[in-house]
Structure 1
């Protein structure tokens, strides 16, 4: 009973289920301390990684479709890209340019019952790609990475309706850990 309570407390200490799943996956594959380049501006998850012993540097908001300068530094143990690649027109290009030997990336999966995400107020907050797992794997393999581990999980919502019911058992997020071949 005590471990169940501790597990519930741990789970509830994260604002989102995906943060908990991602951190567990990260710690299993690349335990802290590690020097991490996190693609994307500073965000709640980069702060969570720092709280758990990772030394995290974020990119500064540059257009990662055109500016690869941040990933050309080989002093990082790991590059992370959490919910970034679906926003890029050509994620293949930046994957080819990464100098670190390890990467952990996640994306929301394409859902047959939900259209691609597009913000009506922010011209940059939209999904150019919504991947199926095999497409994301292929992207890594084609760009010179060998996939070592993957993880899928659901993201149920507390709403009523057909789509919320489908979200209870349809995986929404997909994470890939890969190493340079």
Structure 2
């Protein structure tokens, strides 16, 4: 169903990781508006609600008032100015988070047309690990994968061998 093309390769890895750690009987609050991957989670039998597009740096009420068992955050934290505050506000006991990793050969992503579509943080794995530790989370599992592109050049070649995505399953201490 999910081939090795973008974003399907990412979706395939993310779904496999989610199924490994989260039961379909657990409720999920997925940070960010409904999107193709939250639709995949619902289609796979997970019970998923999404936040509504509010600026989570300013308004964390959806997180703070959530009764969900699990929080998921797939490619959201790089857009936040203060992921520390968001992580501290989570009451759920389980967290699955994925991020695009910082690439030494490419600058941080920034849309030229959408003022919200930009990466304030592009973490290295140890930085996300430390952030989770400082906010009371214990990492139970992690995985990384590449994101090759069908272009020619030095950077596309480097993308074949350099991990781009990092996913973590963590539990509240």
Q: TM-score range by the shorter chain?
A: over 0.9
CA 1:14–1:130: 2 relative to 1, 3 Å: closer
Structure 2 equivalent of residue 169 of structure 1 = 161
The TM-score, its normalising length taken from structure 1, stands at 0.91
Following the alignment from structure 1 to structure 2, what is the Cα–Cα distance between the partners of residues 66 and 170?
34
Following the alignment from structure 1 to structure 2, what is the Cα–Cα distance between the partners of residues 120 and 14?
21
Structure 2 equivalent of residue 133 of structure 1 = 125
Structure 1 equivalent of residue 97 of structure 2 = 105
Cα RMSD (Å) of the superposition?
1.5
| Deviation per residue, 1:81-107 (Å, 9 max, x gap) | 000000000100010000100000000
CA 1:169–1:100: 2 relative to 1, 3 Å: same
The TM-score, its normalising length taken from structure 2, stands at 0.96
Following the alignment from structure 2 to structure 1, what is the Cα–Cα distance between the partners of residues 12 and 139?
21
| Deviation per residue, 1:113-146 (Å, 9 max, x gap) | 0100001111110000000000000010001111
Structure 1 equivalent of residue 54 of structure 2 = 62
* 1:87-106 equivalences in 2 (<5 Å): 87-106=79-98
Shift of 1:31: 2.8
SS of 2:14's partner is helix
Structure 2's unaligned 5+ residue stretches are none
Shift of 1:110: 0.3
Following the alignment from structure 1 to structure 2, what is the Cα–Cα distance between the partners of residues 10 and 57?
22
Structure 1's unaligned 5+ residue stretches are 1-8
Question: Which of 128, 131, 142 pairs up with 1:150?
Answer: 142
CA 1:15–1:120: 2 relative to 1, 3 Å: closer
Question: Which of 68, 72, 92 pairs up with 1:76?
Answer: 68
Contact 2:140 2:169 in 1 (8 A): yes
CA 1:135–1:11: 2 relative to 1, 3 Å: same
Higher radius of gyration, 1 or 2: 1
Following the alignment from structure 1 to structure 2, what is the Cα–Cα distance between the partners of residues 106 and 12?
18
Following the alignment from structure 1 to structure 2, what is the Cα–Cα distance between the partners of residues 56 and 121?
30
